Amino acid sequence: MKLPTGPAVADLRKSLRERSLYTVCEEARCPNQGECWADGTATVMLLGDTCTRGCRFCAVKTGNPQGWLDPEEPAKVASGAEIPGLRYIVLTSVDRDDLPDFGAGHYAATISALKAKRPDLLIEALTPDFQGRVDCIQTICDAELDVFAHNIETVERLHRRVRDVRATYSQTLDVLREAKRYRPEVVTKSSIMLGLGETDSEIRQTMVDLREAGVEILTLGQYLQPTKRHIAVEEFVTPEKFDQWKAVAEQELGFAYCASGPLVRSSYKAAENFVMSRQALNV
C-alpha cells in the first residue's frame, strides 16, 4: 500500500490537527489511509473511546462510560467542514448502551452542525445498532445525512461467536431495512469480514439478505486478528476470490457498488463508493 504522503494528505493532516480532530484512519493504522486522504475522505470517531459492547474481533476498549459525553464534540467536528480538501466525512462511534438514546441525538447534532456549515459536504454515518430502536434510526436519518451505514460483520452462523450477544444478525438487517424504509433517498451500506470460517454459501446468503434489506453499497475485506486475545483468522482469502465476490455483488445481486479486497475496510474510499452508487442508480 502507498504511504500517506503528498501535498493533499499533508494539508488534510495539518487541517485536522489544527482543529484537534483525530481520525479512525490514524488511530486504527488503516492501510488505506493515504489512498482515502488523497481522495478527500476521512473517518472521525464520536462518543469517546470506550465501547459498552465486547465483540471478539474488535480491539476498542470495553467498559461503561456512565453517561459521559463531550457536549462540544458536534461543534468541534463541524469545524472540519472548513477544510478545503475534505469532500466526504464518515462519522462512526463506539456503542453507547449507557445513554438513553444510545448516542443517536449526539450523532444527529454532529451531522446537522456539519451540514449547516457546508451543505455540499457528503456525510456518511457508520452507526451502532441502537438496540434496534426505530426512533433512534429515524433521528439519524432526519439529520440530512447522505449515507446510512451499519455493518453486519459476518454470516449468521458465526454471529454469536464473533459479535457481542446484543448485536444480532436479524437486528442488524432490521436497522438497515428501517433506514431505507424511512428515508428511501438515503444510500444504505454494510460490510462483511471474510476469513472467520464462513462458507461460500453463507457469504452469498448474507449478501442476499443485505440486498433484500435495501442495502446498495457493500464492502468486503479480510479479517485480521488485532491481538492474541481476539478471535483467530481461519483463512486468508485470495485477491482473486475477492474479485469474484465483487462480480457476484454487482452483476448478480444488484448492489450499486461493491468494494472488495483483502485490505478493504468499511469506510474504504467511501466518497468513490457514494458517487459510483449514485451513477449506477441514475440519481
Do 49 and 60 contact (CB within 8 A), yes or no? yes
Task: Tell which phi-psi region holds residue 164, choosing left (phi > 0), alpha (psi between -120 and 50) or beta.
Answer: beta
User: Predicted confidence band at 255 (pLDDT cuts at 50, 70, 90)?
Assistant: very high
∠ CA 269-270-276, rounded to 5°: 95
> Considering the domain boundaries, does residue 163 fall inside one?
yes
Whether residue 24 lies inside any domain: the answer is yes
> What confidence score (pLDDT) does residue 24 get?
56
Question: How confident is the model at residue 19, as a pLDDT?
Answer: 61
Please report, for the domain that includes residue 219, its CATH number. Answer: 3.20.20.70
Number of neighbouring beta carbons within 10 Å of residue 97: 18
Q: Within a domain: residue 1?
A: no
In a domain, 146, yes or no: yes
85, part of any domain:
yes
Question: Which residues does 250 contact at the CB level (< 8 Å), separation at least 6?
Answer: 256, 257, 258
29 pLDDT band (50/70/90 cuts)? low
Q: Residue 100: which domain range?
A: 7-280
Residue 2: inside a domain: no
Total number of domains in the chain: 1
Q: Does 194 fall in a domain?
A: yes
28 pLDDT band, cuts 50/70/90, is very low
Bigger pLDDT: 63 or 34?
63
Say if 259 falls within a structural domain.
yes
For residues 147 and 126, the answer to whether their CB atoms sit within 8 Å is no
CA distance 248 to 218: 11
Residue 233 exposure: Cα atoms within 13 Å on the Cβ side: 14
Q: Quick one: average pLDDT of 187-211? A: 97
Q: What is the pTM of this model?
A: 0.89
Rounded to 5 degrees, what are φ and ψ at 222? Answer: -85, 130
